Copies of this chain bind each other. A is one copy, B any other.
Amino acid sequence: MNICIFEDNTHLRESLQLLIDVTPSFTCTAAFPNCNNLIEKLEKIDCDICLMDIEMPGISGIEATKLIKGHFPKIHVLIQTVFSDDDSIFKAICAGASGYILKSSTPADYIEALRDAQTGGAPMTPSIARRVLQLFKNRLEPPDHEDYNLTEKEKSVLLQLTLGKSYKMIAGELLVSVETVKTHMKNIYTKLHVNSSTEAVAKAIQESLVRTSN
């Protein structure tokens, strides 16, 4: 298993390199203090996994991860950092990182994480995993999901509206007259405290009052 290190701290970089090289079946094929010309560098060496620091001079680990996943999707990127704030984690995941470990990890943890990454796992410090779950949950279910007391009919009218239908089309869809649709719309407006269809649609989608495709 060929590993490539990006880490600006010389001491840590050399320690990691040593750790990897003394571990059976692991080889450190390269180690760099920054991400300058990283695509060119990677083209020249064998690499299965990149051990990537986030905070580096020049190109950040996040940017580097995006570049790597863009050019070599098969390479796993394992983020290692002292930061564990939501924003860093979030960005790392979006950039395509395979895992996220803290520098406080033991050498054994590092090795296990690298092995996990290779075998299709996503190594994470348990506290990071919890953060990811929390982030995930928050993004999925908007906090205060007010109900606005919409009736079933009103919800279905609203749904049709988010699909871009006109009153006339909605009427056809729900087998009622356009006038009825208008009445429902009036009620929706007062309940949602809006006064245009666009605002209603925006509110409906953002507060997921209607089930969207995904």
Contacts and interface: CB of A to CB of B under 8 A. Distances in A.
Interface string A119-162: 11111111101101101110111100000000000000000011
- With most chain B CB atoms within 10 A of its CB, the pick from A121, A127, A200, A206 is A121
Contacts of A104: none
A116 interface: yes
Given A137-B93, A164-B198, A202-B201, A122 B132 contact: yes
A187 interface: no
Contact of A164 (B119, B166, B202, B212): B202
A214 interface: yes
A198 B162 contact: yes
Contact of A166 (B162, B165, B196): B196
A82 interface: no
A94 interface: yes
Given A94-B141, A202-B205, A205-B202, A164 B194 contact: yes
B116 A120 contact: no
Interface in A169-214: 194-203, 205-206, 212-214
A151 B125 CA distance: 43
Contacts of A93: 133, 136-137, 140
A134 to B, nearest CB: 8
B123 A132 contact: no
A166 B195 CA distance: 10
A163 interface: yes
14 contacts: A93-B140, A94-B141, A96-B137, A98-B130, A99-B129, A121-B127, A122-B130, A136-B136, A136-B139, A163-B199, A163-B202, A165-B196, A198-B201, A201-B201
Given A98-B133, A205-B205, A206-B212, 6 more contacts: A93-B137, A94-B140, A129-B129, A132-B133, A161-B198, A163-B202
